[in-house]
Amino acid sequence: MNGSHWLLEREQPRRRLDAHTVVSQAHILVHEGGAASLTMRPLAAALGTSTSALYRLVPSKQWLLVAIVDLVFGEVETSTAADVGDPRGRLEQLSTAMHDVLVLHPHLHEILASHVWVTPNTIRIAEIAFTSLREMGLDDPELLDAYNAWSGYVIGFSAIEAKPAENAPDRALQRAMRRQLEEMDPGAFPILTELMPDVADRAFGLPSRPRRSGESGSSFAWGLAALLDGVAARKRRRSRA
């Protein structure tokens, strides 16, 4: 796409660099090596330009990181969720769409945790979430708290699932952690002992085999349901007061 970008300087006549191309290439560098790998020199080299030309378009690395967040959240399919009439079902659909995108971008979460991100695509998602929560019976001042709890859950859970490969424990460390489970004192840890086969297969970082389809999704769906059940319970308690 040619032309201006919502965050970066407007495209000038005869300028070689296109803002959307710059953001897309920056995203590739972050996806492959994390946020620390994104500096102006390798980005300029990948774009076939100079750092001075890049700085004329991009004020700083921080601007690029926020633009990358917007680029990724632009992949979240919101139209299906927006068409759901039931507010809880709408929020569940939106949550799943966000989760499915975020787990594909393991290096995005360090940016989400360290930068303020108010962008066109995050605003679009937030409006659907706020509308759904309000229709579920929440209002100021708890509406913002509910939104923060919801977005924190979806993003946080996805971050744990999508940890970059370089952060995952190696096989020897996995075996050492698994031994901790196998050698537990049943008297001191009766519930963990009872659940040990499932914990060893499904705990984050400890799967003994490739993750089976639906295992992580079932935990995500359970937590989301519990969160939304809490919203419904608050509405019932308030109506009885």
Query: What pLDDT, in 10s, does the model give residues 101-122?
Result: 999 998 888 888 877 788 999 9
Same domain, 111 and 24: no
Tell me the pLDDT of the chain averaged across its residues: 83
Hey, CA dihedral for 155, 30, 26, 8, is it positive or negative? positive
Q: Is residue 209 assigned to a domain? A: no
Same domain, 121 and 160: yes
Q: How confident is the model at residue 96 (pLDDT cuts 50, 70, 90)?
A: very high
Q: Note the pLDDT of residue 14.
A: 46
Say which amino acid occupies 195: L
Same domain, 149 and 99: yes
pTM: 0.80
Same domain, 48 and 86: no
Q: Is residue 100 assigned to a domain? A: yes
Same domain, 82 and 52: no
Q: Note the pLDDT of residue 227.
A: 93
Asked if residue 222 has pLDDT above 70, the reply is yes
Asked if residue 137 has pLDDT above 80, the reply is yes
Asked whether 32 and 38 are in contact (CB, 8 A), the reply is: no
Q: Is residue 57 assigned to a domain? A: yes
State which of 72, 87, 104 marks the end of a domain.
72
Total domains present in the chain:
3
pLDDT tens for 140-180 read 888 999 999 999 999 998 888 877 666 666 778 878 877 88
Same domain, 193 and 94: no
Instruction: Determine what percent of the chain is predicted with pLDDT higher than 90.
Output: 40
Domain at 128, CATH number: 1.10.357.10
Asked if residue 206 has pLDDT above 60, the reply is no
Q: Is residue 2 assigned to a domain? A: no
Same domain, 68 and 85: no
If you average pLDDT over residues 66-80, what whole number do you get? 93
H helices present in the chain, as ranges? 19-33, 40-47, 51-57, 61-73, 79-82, 87-102, 108-114, 120-135, 142-161, 171-182, 190-202, 215-240
Same domain, 89 and 158: yes
Q: Is residue 90 assigned to a domain? A: yes
Domain at 45, CATH number: 1.10.10.60
Q: Is 3 exposed, middle or buried (0-12, 13-18, 19+ CB in 10 A)?
A: exposed
Same domain, 87 and 35: no
Q: Is residue 10 assigned to a domain? A: no
Taking residue 37's Cβ as centre, other Cβ atoms within 10 Å add up to: 13
Same domain, 102 and 117: yes
Same domain, 146 and 110: yes
Q: How confident is the model at residue 138 (pLDDT cuts 50, 70, 90)?
A: confident
Q: Is residue 33 assigned to a domain? A: yes
- The domain in which residue 138 lies consists of 76-165+214-240
Q: Is residue 123 assigned to a domain? A: yes
Same domain, 150 and 87: yes
If you average pLDDT over residues 126-134, what whole number do you get? 95
